[in-house]
Amino acid sequence: MPDTEVIKQLFDKKILRIIEVFVKHRGKQFYLRELSRESGVSPATTYRILRKLVQSGFVEEIVLSKFKVYQLIINDKTKGLVKLLRDEINALDIFVKVMKDVEGIDTVILHGKKTSSTANLLLIGSEAAAARIQEVVSEIKEKYSFTIDFLILSQLQFNQMTKLGVYAGEKKTLWSKEQQKQLQD
């Protein structure tokens, strides 16, 4: 069971929904009602939860004239929480897992370095899979705030472009049908 599922079972769902809003929009300041609306938690409950989060050192309360805004504090304590809730490590793994079942995709290659929020992928296979791939990429972007930029190439195109030096640099094969077949044999 992923860490996020364990956390969701152990903690109050309303608290987690509010924290997830802060995590999804890191660096953004929220008015109480805005946070309430975004999280789907009543304003009174949002206020009580914010009191706890401010006292615990997770959220900062900023007074602007006669208004208050709230923002996630970025420190060691919250970085660990952000990492758990965003599933940054697993977003790319989830994409690869789905690609294993997409007809027409033979290989998934990470081109360059993965960052905490993006990855560039070369997909070897058929253009016919493009609509399904775009759908998966959009779902991952929305759910994990992780951007996957991809290019679909045939094996011949990839080989020729690699020979020309177009795809020079660091490449890592994340999955291929050929490797999977070798493991099964």
pLDDT tens digits, residue range 48-96?
A: 999 999 998 889 999 988 899 999 888 877 777 776 665 444 788 889 9
Please provide the average confidence, as pLDDT, over all residues in the chain.
85
State pLDDT tens for residues 141-160.
888 778 999 999 999 999 99
For residue 185, the model assigns a pLDDT of: 58
- 71 contacts 62 by C-beta, under 8 angstroms: yes
Query: For the residues 100-118, what does the mean pLDDT come to?
Result: 90
Domain annotation for the chain: domains and CATH numbers: 3-85 (1.10.10.10), 87-184 (3.30.460)
Which of 69, 68, 84 lies closest to 23 in space, CA to CA? 84
Confidence of residue 8 (pLDDT cuts 50, 70, 90): low
Q: Is the dihedral of CA 109, 112, 113, 118 positive or negative?
A: negative
Residue 134 phi, psi (nearest 5) = -60, -40
Whole-number Å distance between alpha carbons of 183 and 95: 20
